[in-house]
């Protein structure tokens, strides 16, 4: 879970600091600690993901508008619907990084901003706040530079850059318009609180560069409550 900094991250600092501390724990499904055979594990993961997706679709979120296009709160290489009540805000990561690097006279602010606004191969571009809809969490969009890197590699780089990650489950996913992407479900652990929570993200390749859409939440209960908004983004995802 990322924490807001500077003017971009503003009023959610207190909530998201707590969320950042609450991590998730366990072993990677790719590791040697899983006793299932690879084929059985893949089948179980696929069934679990399908069941979770159906459950979220069963309580589908109503659309409250679209982000990504020109004139929307976040101009992105993709477009998708935002759940009703959620509030989108664009992030000018370059400006925030420059401001942090030049504001304190030392490297601390710059390093903090770097760690919060960049994760692996992608940079924060849009934050969609669930608080107006009654939840504690965010749907965040991260973008990368255009090139030949595929969506799975970008998503792995994104997850690997987060502390305390385990039990990653990657699988192919169909997005809006029949476009293919890659999705991951995983746990994040806080060593301080010794607690875990679920997080979910998907990635898609576009001519403008890779895009990662990530759903966190204060805890697993909040995460699951916000899954319909995440599924709405997947279902309506379009690459112009």
Supply the CATH number for residue 83's domain: 3.40.1000.10
pLDDT, tens digit, 9 for 90 and up, residues 159-188 = 999 999 999 999 999 999 899 999 999 999
* Chain segment 69-125, per-residue pLDDT in tens: 999 999 999 999 999 999 999 999 988 888 877 765 556 677 888 888 999 999 999
pTM of the model: 0.76
What's the domain range around 173?
20-92+120-236
Asked if the structure places residue 42 within a domain, the reply is yes
Q: Which two tokens stand for residue 235?
A: 């279902």
Q: What is the DSSP letter of 132?
A: G
222 within some domain: yes
**Rounded Cα gap, residues 112 and 120, in angstroms:** 15
DSSP-based three-state secondary structure for 167: strand
Are 109 and 84 a contacting pair, CB within 8 Å? Answer: no
Query: How does DSSP classify residue 237?
Result: -
First-to-final CA distance of the chain: 29
Total domains, the chain = 1
């Amino acid at each position: 879970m990322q924490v807001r900094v500077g003017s971009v991250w503003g009023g959610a600092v207190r909530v998201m600091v707590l969320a950042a501390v609450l991590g998730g724990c366990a072993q990677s499904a790719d590791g040697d600690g899983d006793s299932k055979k690879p084929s059985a594990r893949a089948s179980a993961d696929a069934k679990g993901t399908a069941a979770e997706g159906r459950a979220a679709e069963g309580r589908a979120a109503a659309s409250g508008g679209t982000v990504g296009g020109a004139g929307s709160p976040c101009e992105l290489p993709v477009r998708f619907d935002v759940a009703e009540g959620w509030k989108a805000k664009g992030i000018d990561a370059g400006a925030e990084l420059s401001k942090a690097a030049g504001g304190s006279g030392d490297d601390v602010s710059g390093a903090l901003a770097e760690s919060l606004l960049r994760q692996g191969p992608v940079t924060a571009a849009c934050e969609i706040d669930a608080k107006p809809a009654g939840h504690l969490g965010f749907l965040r969009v991260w973008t990368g530079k255009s090139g030949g890197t595929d969506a799975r590699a970008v998503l792995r780089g994104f997850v690997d850059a987060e502390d305390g990650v385990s039990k990653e489950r990657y699988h192919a996913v169909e997005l809006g318009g029949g476009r293919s992407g890659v999705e991951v479900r995983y746990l994040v652990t806080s060593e301080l609180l010794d607690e875990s929570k679920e997080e979910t993200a998907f990635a898609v390749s576009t001519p403008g560069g890779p895009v990662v859409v990530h759903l966190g939440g204060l805890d697993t209960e909040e995460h699951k409550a916000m899954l319909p908004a995440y599924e709405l983004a997947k279902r309506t995802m379009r690459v112009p």
